[in-house]
C-alpha cells in the first residue's frame, strides 16, 4: 500500500496540479538530496520530467520507483509515457497493460496504449480499445482526441470530426484541451479541402496567444565564433555517429529521421534533450571547460544516443533546440554530421500553425512570430555553416518529395552508408513515431503539401509581411 505523501511530496503534487512542472522537479530534486532512496519522490520527479519533455532523465527515476509502486497508476502511466516518448513501444505497451491490470478504468493508460498501437500500425486494435473508453467517459476530452487520432489513422475523416463535435463548442475546456480539440479539427477539415473552416479552427486553437517569444540568433552567434568553439577541448569519447537533423519544425526533420532510421545500420532517437542540457551546464561553468569535462560530456551524449540501438553505427537526433548547439556539438561529438532540413518558409509557418506543439515552441501559435523565428533560424544556420567544421548537407523537403530516388541515396552517401531499399520504403516501418508528423511518415512521399500556403493565402497577411522583408 502506498504511504501517504509527506510535506515535500505534497508540495511536488501541488506544483504538478498547478501545471508548474519545473518547480515540481526542483522541489523533488532538493528533497532527494537527503533522501535519495525515497521512491515516492523519485516517481514524482519522473512525472515532472515527463511533463517537461525529458523522458531520458525521467526514465531511471520511474524505473527505480515502479517495483515498489506497482499499484500506483500515476507512476506506471508516467513510466509507460517515458517508454512511448523514447520510441520503446513494446515496453510502453507492457507497462500500460500493467497499469490497466491494476486500474482497468485508467483513462491515461488507455490513451497511452491506444497511442502506441496507433503509431505502430495497429490502429484497428486501438479503435476497439479507445471506442469503449470514450463511450464510458463521454466528457473526456483527451480520450475524444485520441479517438479522433485513431479514426484519422484509419482514414475515417468525417467520423473523426464527429468524435470531436461534442467538445467543439464547450466553454468549460482548459486552454490545453481547447487547443487539442481545435487543432485536430483544423487538420481534419484541411483533409476535406474545407480550407476556410480549417483556418478558422486553427485560429480558435491558437486564440489568446499574443506576440509569443522568438528565440534570437544573435546571442548564440556572438557566443560561438570560431575561437570560442576552439576553446572547448575536443572530446575523445567514442561511440555511435550522431546525425544532427536541424531546421525549423515542420521543415522535414521527422521525415529525414524516418528515412535514415529505416536503414539497418541506423537508429532514430527522436528529440534527444542531452545536447541542450550540456550546453546549459557549459554556460554555468565558472572556468573554461577541461579535457575531462569534454570527455565526460561526449560520453554522456554518445551513450544516450547509443542506448536506442546498441548495434547501430549512426543515430539520428532531431531535437529542435540543437539548432543552437552546433558549436558545442562539434567539440563533444566531433564525428557528428549535420543535415539541415529546409522547406518553403510559407509552407513551414502555415504547417506549424496547424500543429499541437509544446510550450517551448509557442511561436508556432502566431503566424507572424513563426515567420520571425524562421528568419532567426536561417540566420543561425548561415553562421554555423560558415563556422563549424562538421560535415554538412542541406536537404530540401521539396526535393525529397519530388525525387526520392535521387535524394535519398544522396543522404545515405553523405552519411557513409550503403544504399538500402528500406529507406525508400520508410513508410512501411512499424517503428513508433512520437511527433506531430506521426501520420505523414506512415505514408509514401507525396507532393500535395508543396505550395499548400496558397490555399490559405487570404488568411496569411501578417506572416507574408514578415517573410517579404527578408
Indicate the domain borders of the chain: 1-120, 134-208, 218-467
Instruction: Say if residues 438 and 342 touch (Cβ distance below 8 Å).
Output: no
Q: What is the pLDDT of residue 2?
A: 47
46: CB partners within 8 A, 6+ apart: 58, 59, 61, 62, 65, 75, 78, 79, 82
First-to-last alpha carbon distance for the chain, in angstroms, is 62
List pLDDT tens digits, range 243-257. 999 999 999 999 999
Closest among 65, 30, 73, 18 to 46, alpha carbons compared? 65
Q: Hey, do 1-120 and 218-467 end up sharing a CATH topology, with the first three levels equal?
A: no
Helix ranges (DSSP H) in 193-289: 195-205, 218-223, 226-230, 253-261, 274-284
Locus of grid cell 513494446: 90
User: Based on C-alpha coordinates, what's the Rg of the chain?
Assistant: 22
Distance (Å, rounded) from C-alpha 9 to C-alpha 12? 5
Distance (Å, rounded) from C-alpha 9 to C-alpha 75? 14
Q: For residue 234, which phi and psi values (nearest 5 degrees)?
A: -75, 130
Q: Is 245 left (phi over 0), alpha (psi -120 to 50) or beta?
A: beta
For 218-467, the fitting CATH number among 3.30.300.210, 3.40.50.300, 4.10.490.10, 3.90.1150.10 is 3.40.50.300
Burial class (CB in 10 A: 0-12, 13-18, 19+), 244: buried
Q: What is the pLDDT of residue 443?
A: 60
What is 83-126 written as a DSSP string?
HHHTT-HHHHHHHHHHHHHH-TT-HHHHHHHHHHHHHTT-HHHH
Instruction: Say if residues 258 and 268 touch (Cβ distance below 8 Å).
Output: yes
Could you tell me where the beta strands, DSSP code E, fall in 257-407? 266-268, 314-317, 337-342, 392-396
Instruction: Say if residues 58 and 78 touch (Cβ distance below 8 Å).
Output: yes
Q: What is the pLDDT of residue 201?
A: 98
Q: What is the pLDDT of residue 87?
A: 81
Closest among 87, 422, 59 to 254, alpha carbons compared? 87
Distance (Å, rounded) from C-alpha 110 to C-alpha 430? 20
Model pTM above 0.85: yes
Distance (Å, rounded) from C-alpha 63 to C-alpha 42? 9
Distance (Å, rounded) from C-alpha 442 to C-alpha 157? 16
Angle at 146 between CA 122 and CA 73, to 5 degrees: 95
Closest among 30, 3, 2 to 15, alpha carbons compared? 30
Q: What is the pLDDT of residue 6?
A: 84
Locus of grid cell 511518415: 441
Provide the CA 414 distance to its chain's centre, in angstroms.
Answer: 25
Burial class (CB in 10 A: 0-12, 13-18, 19+), 443: exposed
Instruction: Say if residues 12 and 61 touch (Cβ distance below 8 Å).
Output: no
Q: What is the pLDDT of residue 283?
A: 94
SS3 content of the chain, % helix, strand, coil (to 5): 65, 5, 30
Distance (Å, rounded) from C-alpha 112 to C-alpha 133? 12
Task: Mark the ranges of the chain whose per-residue pLDDT is less than 50.
Answer: 1-2, 432-433, 436-438, 440-441
CATH superfamily of 1-120: Tetratricopeptide repeat domain (1.25.40.10)
Amino acid at each position: 500500500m502506498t504511504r501517504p505523501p509527506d510535506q515535500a511530496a505534497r508540495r511536488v503534487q501541488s506544483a504538478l496540479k498547478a501545471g508548474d512542472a519545473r518547480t515540481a522537479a526542483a522541489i523533488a530534486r532538493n528533497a532527494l538530496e537527503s533522501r535519495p532512496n525515497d521512491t515516492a519522490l523519485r516517481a514524482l520527479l519522473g512525472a515532472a520530467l515527463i511533463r517537461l519533455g525529458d523522458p531520458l532523465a525521467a526514465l531511471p527515476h520511474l524505473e527505480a520507483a515502479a517495483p515498489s509502486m506497482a499499484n500506483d497508476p500515476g507512476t506506471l502511466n508516467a513510466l509507460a509515457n517515458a517508454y512511448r516518448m523514447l520510441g520503446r513501444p513494446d515496453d510502453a505497451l507492457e507497462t500500460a497493460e500493467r497499469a490497466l491490470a491494476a486500474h482497468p478504468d485508467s483513462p491515461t493508460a488507455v490513451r497511452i496504449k491506444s497511442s502506441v498501437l496507433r503509431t505502430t500500425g495497429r490502429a484497428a486494435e486501438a479503435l476497439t480499445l479507445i471506442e469503449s473508453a470514450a463511450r464510458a467517459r463521454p466528457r473526456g476530452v483527451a480520450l475524444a482526441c485520441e479517438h479522433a487520432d485513431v479514426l484519422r489513422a484509419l482514414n475515417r475523416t468525417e467520423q473523426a470530426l464527429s468524435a470531436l463535435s461534442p467538445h467543439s463548442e464547450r466553454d468549460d475546456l482548459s486552454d490545453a484541451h481547447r487547443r487539442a480539440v481545435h487543432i485536430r479539427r483544423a487538420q481534419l477539415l484541411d483533409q476535406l479541402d474545407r480550407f476556410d473552416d480549417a483556418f478558422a479552427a486553427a485560429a480558435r486553437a491558437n486564440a489568446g496567444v499574443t506576440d509569443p517569444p522568438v528565440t534570437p540568433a544573435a546571442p548564440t552567434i556572438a557566443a560561438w565564433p570560431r575561437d570560442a568553439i576552439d576553446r572547448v577541448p575536443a572530446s575523445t569519447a567514442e561511440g555511435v555517429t550522431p546525425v544532427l537533423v536541424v531546421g525549423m519544425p515542420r521543415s522535414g526533420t521527422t521525415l529525414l529521421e524516418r528515412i535514415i532510421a529505416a536503414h539497418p545500420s541506423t537508429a532514430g532517437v527522436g528529440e534527444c534533450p542531452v545536447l541542450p542540457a550540456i550546453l546549459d551546464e557549459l554556460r554555468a561553468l565558472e572556468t573554461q571547460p577541461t579535457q575531462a569535462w569534454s570527455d565526460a560530456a561526449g560520453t554522456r551524449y554518445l551513450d544516450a544516443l547509443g542506448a536506442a540501438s546498441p548495434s547501430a553505427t549512426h543515430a539520428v537526433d532531431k531535437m529542435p533546440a540543437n539548432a543552437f548547439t552546433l558549436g558545442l556539438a562539434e567539440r563533444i561529438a566531433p564525428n557528428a554530421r549535420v543535415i539541415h532540413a529546409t522547406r518553403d518558409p510559407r509552407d513551414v509557418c502555415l504547417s506549424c500553425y496547424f500543429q499541437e506543439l509544446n510550450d517551448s515552441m509557442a511561436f508556432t501559435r502566431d503566424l507572424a512570430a513563426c515567420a520571425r523565428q524562421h528568419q532567426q533560424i536561417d540566420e543561425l544556420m548561415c553562421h554555423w555553416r560558415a563556422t563549424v567544421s562538421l560535415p554538412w548537407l542541406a536537404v530540401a523537403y521539396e526535393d525529397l518529395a519530388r525525387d526520392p530516388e535521387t535524394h535519398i541515396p544522396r543522404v545515405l552517401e553523405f552519411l557513409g552508408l550503403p544504399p538500402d531499399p528500406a529507406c525508400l520504403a520508410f513508410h512501411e516501418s512499424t517503428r513508433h513515431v512520437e511527433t506531430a508528423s506521426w501520420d505523414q511518415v506512415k505514408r509514401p512521399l507525396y507532393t500535395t503539401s508543396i505550395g499548400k500556403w496558397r490555399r490559405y493565402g487570404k488568411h496569411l497577411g501578417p506572416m507574408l509581411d514578415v517573410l517579404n522583408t527578408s
